[in-house]
Structure 1
Amino acid sequence: MKGTNMTTTARHSTRLSRRAFLGAMAAGVGLIGLPVRLRAAPGATGPAIAFDGDALILAKDILSRRDGAGGWKELSAPAVGSILSLATHPGRPGRIAAGLAGGGVAISEDGGHRWEARSQGLPYAPVTAVTVAAAEPDTIYAAIRGDGLWKSEDAGRSWGLAMDRPWLADAERDLTALASVDLATGMGGIWIYAGTETGLTRVPDCFCRWQDVQPGDAMDALVSGKPAPSEAPLPEGETINALVSAASQPTRLYAALPSGIWESQDAGVVWSQRLSTSALAVAVPPANADHVVAVTGDGLIESRDGGANWTALARA
């Protein structure tokens, strides 16, 4: 790939994931018998998208950036592995977090031109989703395949376990998408919403229990045990490929599913379908909740009216 001005510090944790270790011990298997996972080759396979201010960052085959209405420019992808997920925060312009297929998180502080591996303490497994805390731009969450939700409070320089994987439909489920949502109903105003292969779940920032999305505040939901409302939920049994909260209007959520793009205007209680084409990724700029960009099997598309109408977004 073009652009060799990249600097990367590859300091991945080499320890086994907590779950792999416990699973091996429970099965009576010595650690020497566990498979060795190879580091992924460099590249930006994606698809993953995120807005850095008004600039769109796209990881699909290559890593590229489109500033405003300008053309696309190819960026140097992290040398430590292919990108599975991207996250940004309006309070830290230029900072991009990338979850890597080969394990770990890479951070760029200059809009995607140079990357540094920041994975100290993370299990060495694919990072299927990343998000930045809505009110704390130095706090990053990472979903680790086969493990759970991990948290860094120092922009990825160190990590600790925040929450196990949710138990849904009689099994522990991997997290496929993450969004930090700033809502008055959360514990301290923050929820972590997560997509799985079976649907949507969330946890308040007390990290006490995964729960269904429902009206009311976090404490009411924790003590009531009431089921999620049946009125217009997301389709059951579908993998949520991507999830985003509009920074300018936090109750506005968009989700990318095999059945299309879905929108909620009430923080995930009621959803409406805005696109019926299978969607792989979705992003919203921080200043405009009506501007939606999505990756589908046919390419890159955008809507300027909250998903009512869509047009192709050319990529050079």
Structure 2
Amino acid sequence: MIYKTIIILVVGFIALVIVIPLILSAVGIDILSGTRGSAQSGGLLFRSKDGGEHWEPATFVRERRDPTPSYIYDVVAHPVATTTLFAGTKGAGLWKSEDAGMTWRQIKDTAGVMNPRSDIYRVAISKSKPDVMYVAAFQENRGRVFKSTDGGASFRQIYFVGRDKYGVFDIATPPADPDTIMAATGEGRLLVSNDGGERWHFSKVLRDPLARLVLHPGYSNEGYLMTSRGQVLKTYDGGISWTDLGILRQSAAIREGNLRVIEHPYSRLAWFPSRSVYGGARDMLVPDPYQPGVMYRTNKGNLLKSADGGATWARFSTFIDGLGVRVGGIAVHPRNQNTLMVTAGQAVYTSRDLGINWSIVPFDKGSELREVYIHPDTPNVMFVVVGR
């Protein structure tokens, strides 16, 4: 009897100390790490502090039981505290850096509204009232919009979509109006609130999911809306009215039988046409803040340019032609109007003469590069997202 008791105690001890922690760790609950946390680069986000000449992986510091990010959806700089940045992740919520993006730590919502394992697609911070922050999230199988009025310490929900598996994929707030928020959803609806999220109205309703919402950096009333098929709409009056620019990425009509659930933007959940996403990457739409009417756009991995506000587009003849690689992201330098940065394949390309000549910094990471972000106030600081 004594031997049986001893065996039971030994087996129970092994299960408690070894087996159960391993099982919890396998499903993402890390109780094997020390309480001080562990630093992991993971190769998800690379940072340059010298204008793109050299790159190093950013470090994500995980405390015990923190989930591990598997992709970076967005990087946003605080409009006042220039060394503070926020990153939206896949499966690991919202992260914050206070050292210009070198190290990141997960934000713990003190109100308990934002799940630490949610997908955060987009972060929008008011420039005129920087304590006000809006977040587009996918949580509990639905797209949601969260709002913080204390700089990200706590959040409350101000909107959620009406059906499961549909996301809120982009949000924007005008620089001078912290109470106005625009949200683009997988249901094909562009919603606007003018009172900080208390009440909402439809600005535009389309058949296709809305993938991109871009406000012009130089003209706050000018904005662009892109659907999952590549349809582009434009507003000159802050979203009161929209004009279809008549450009579709694919001309064939969508048939109901072609629809399936896929991941968005590079990850998950909205109803998209089965051929609407090229290689797992969503299209970019970038207005040039210096040249009125000039815009850049990625389309099926190609780089396009418009000189008439998006009415017509032409292929931007660059280094990419003939290389067999596709464009992941593009950014216009916030201080130098002649400088463009493009990610293509596994390299970062920089032009300082609007695309005539290019320099290249190759990455040997085994995955294609996606978006490139340039810090608006400290433009020597840049970030590149690595695809999965």
Q: Which residue of 2 aligns with 1:273?
A: 315
1:155 maps to 2:144: no
Alignment of 1:7-86 (within 5 A): 38=28, 43-46=41-44, 59=45, 63-68=46-51, 71-79=54-62, 80-82=68-70, 83-86=72-75
Q: Which residue of 2 aligns with 1:56?
A: none
Distance (whole Å) between structure 2 residues aligned to residue 200 and residue 229 of structure 1: 8
Amino acid at match of 1:198: R
Q: Which residue of 1 aligns with 2:352?
A: 304
The TM-score with structure 2 as length reference comes to 0.49
Aligned match for 1:198, one of 229, 239, 249: 229
Q: Which residue of 1 aligns with 2:185?
A: 165
Secondary structure of the residue aligned to 1:115 is strand
Distance (whole Å) between structure 1 residues aligned to residue 289 and residue 81 of structure 2: 13
Instruction: Using the TM superposition, give the Cα deviation of residue 247 of structure 1 relative to its aligned residue in structure 2, in angstroms.
Output: 5.5
Instruction: Using the TM superposition, give the Cα deviation of residue 185 of structure 1 relative to its aligned residue in structure 2, in angstroms.
Output: 5.9
Structure with more relative contact order (C-alpha pairs < 8 Å, separation 6 or more): 1
Instruction: Using the TM superposition, give the Cα deviation of residue 147 of structure 1 relative to its aligned residue in structure 2, in angstroms.
Output: 0.8
Secondary structure of the residue aligned to 1:122 is coil
Structure 1 contact 131–178 (Cα < 8 Å) conserved: no
Q: Which residue of 2 aligns with 1:127?
A: 120
Instruction: Using the TM superposition, give the Cα deviation of residue 278 of structure 1 relative to its aligned residue in structure 2, in angstroms.
Output: 1.8
Secondary structure of the residue aligned to 2:282 is coil
Evaluate the alpha carbon distance shift between residue 304 and residue 130 of structure 1 in structure 2; reply closer, same or farther with a 3 A threshold: farther
Distance (whole Å) between structure 1 residues aligned to residue 73 and residue 29 of structure 2: 14
Instruction: Using the TM superposition, give the Cα deviation of residue 280 of structure 1 relative to its aligned residue in structure 2, in angstroms.
Output: 1.7
Evaluate the alpha carbon distance shift between residue 251 and residue 109 of structure 1 in structure 2; reply closer, same or farther with a 3 A threshold: farther
Aligned match for 1:292, one of 340, 343, 348: 340
Q: 5+ residue gaps in structure 2?
A: 1-26, 31-38, 63-67, 160-180, 189-205, 251-275, 365-388
Q: Number of matched residues?
A: 242
Structure 2 contact 89–121 (Cα < 8 Å) conserved: yes
Q: Which residue of 2 aligns with 1:14?
A: none
1:213 maps to 2:257: no
- Cα deviation, 1:135-184, whole Å, max 9, x if unaligned, reads 555554443345155454543333444536154463545x4x56443454
- Cα deviation, 1:288-310, whole Å, max 9, x if unaligned, reads 24322222224222222334543
Evaluate the alpha carbon distance shift between residue 220 and residue 65 of structure 1 in structure 2; reply closer, same or farther with a 3 A threshold: closer
Aligned match for 2:297, one of 255, 280, 283: 255
Instruction: Using the TM superposition, give the Cα deviation of residue 108 of structure 1 relative to its aligned residue in structure 2, in angstroms.
Output: 1.0
Amino acid at match of 1:66: K
- Asked which structure has the greater CA Rg, the reply is 2
The TM-score with structure 1 as length reference comes to 0.58
Structure 1 contact 182–250 (Cα < 8 Å) conserved: no
Structure 2 contact 137–146 (Cα < 8 Å) conserved: yes
Distance (whole Å) between structure 1 residues aligned to residue 356 and residue 146 of structure 2: 36
Identity of aligned residues (%): 22
Secondary structure of the residue aligned to 1:106 is strand
Evaluate the alpha carbon distance shift between residue 256 and residue 133 of structure 1 in structure 2; reply closer, same or farther with a 3 A threshold: farther
Instruction: Using the TM superposition, give the Cα deviation of residue 111 of structure 1 relative to its aligned residue in structure 2, in angstroms.
Output: 0.8
